[in-house]
Structure 1
């Protein structure tokens, strides 16, 4: 079913350990205006006996561009590694190192239900600004921030390394607790019987 909305963008800072990622409690990022997700694949083909006999397409990485109404200094600092000085000024340094984060959000579907997402491991660059002088009409300027996402370090119960989780609230068999707790912690895949 088609989506007609977007809201509730959260981020969670990742701490890496010997057993993989540990996710901090998710924090609301900002009001959402857009989320563009594009996926890159590694591909390979094998030709034999004058014909294609095998093709492989594997996940490589994903680019997420988020549009938000504004980005607080605290959120920009958390996502990009920039610092906030004693005067509460956000300072981007050449030596900044962005932390790994997980990003969650939801999209409203045309039937009124929601589709929920978590992207498990990514890094963001410095947010872009598009500013314009005020003319005859008012135009809003929004913030845009782009991140590159990859697979998790931590293997799931089935031995695989997830990069994204997605669920529709109205899918058959989806637990109410899965939806109600979606933004209270980063969703952990469960492949146990």
Structure 2
């Protein structure tokens, strides 16, 4: 999965119903993307029988998304971290701040000129890191990094599963132009021809 670039970093606010199922707002641009690092934690179990391995289970538990961006604007800071703007227009972060989970979308450029598109369905961010440095003989850019925990979403898809990520590669078999062109108009919802029986 070699990629040579990344851009179009968006987020969508989440509204939760009483049962916790998510409804996504229209995506908006978060910032200009510099870097994204996604690491995944798996819940693993191995069953041994007859002196050997009988079953191995590896399931998604959570992930960590670290984003390097050019700047986090006031609106995104409020939405992602729970910071508030006071009456003088100053962004204030407190120890009691807690941001809401959001969906995060971005794309990565492949060497063949096509893009791989991503949506992470539920990410809860912490306070951004701030790096500052005095100007010396040369100019060094200091940019913020924000880290979030990636979780599965509460709302089941058409197969009754709880997705945590969707990804599509432009030009791959079965990936329509409509899917790609509409990637940022709304958070991607998995589409299946059949749905599980009720109660299943």
Match of 1:190, SS? Answer: coil
Distance in 1, matches of 2:86 and 2:92, equals 7
Match of residue 115 from structure 2:
114
- How many residues are treated as equivalent by the alignment? 193
Alpha-carbon deviation of 1:87? Answer: 1.4
Which residue does 1:136 correspond to in 2? 137
Q: Shift in Å at residue 161 of structure 1?
A: 0.5
Deviations 1:69-99 (A, max 9, x none): 1111111111011101121111011221210
Which residue of structure 2 lines up, in the alignment, with residue 145 of structure 1? 146
| Partner-residue secondary structure (3-state), 1:55 | strand
Is 1:167 matched with 2:161?
Answer: no
Partner of 1:183: 184
Q: Residue 52 of structure 1: CA displacement?
A: 1.7
Aligned mates of 2:27, 2:172 — CA distance in 1: 24
- Give, in angstroms, the shift of residue 172 of structure 1: 1.4
In the alignment, does 2:4 pair up with 1:14? Answer: no
Report the Cα offset of residue 132 of structure 1.
Answer: 1.1
| TM-fit CA distance, 1:53 | 1.7
Taking the aligned partners of 2:112 and 2:50, their CA distance within structure 1 comes to 50
C-alpha separation between the residues in 2 aligned to 1:46 and 1:173?
37
- Shift of residue 18, structure 1, vs aligned partner: 4.0
Matching residue of 1:73: 74
Q: Deviations over 1:138-182 (max 9, x none)?
A: 100011000001111000111111000000011012111111110
Q: TM-score, normalised by structure 2?
A: 0.93
Equivalent residue of 1:152, what SS? coil
Q: Deviations over 1:90-124 (max 9, x none)?
A: 10112212101000000011011100000001100
d(CA) in 1 for partners of 2:18, 2:109: 37
Q: Secondary structure at the residue paired with 2:193?
A: coil
3-state secondary structure, aligned to 1:77: helix
Measure the CA separation in 1 of the matches of 2:169 and 2:18: 33
SS of equivalent to 2:76 = helix
Residue 134 of structure 1: how far off its partner (Å) = 1.1
Aligned to 2:96: 95
**Which structure 1 residue ranges, 5 or more long, are not aligned?**
none
Could you tell me how far apart the structure 2 residues matched to 1:171 and 1:88 are? 47
1:57 aligned partner: 58
Q: Aligned Cα RMSD in Å?
A: 1.1
Structure 2 gaps of 5+ residues are 195-200
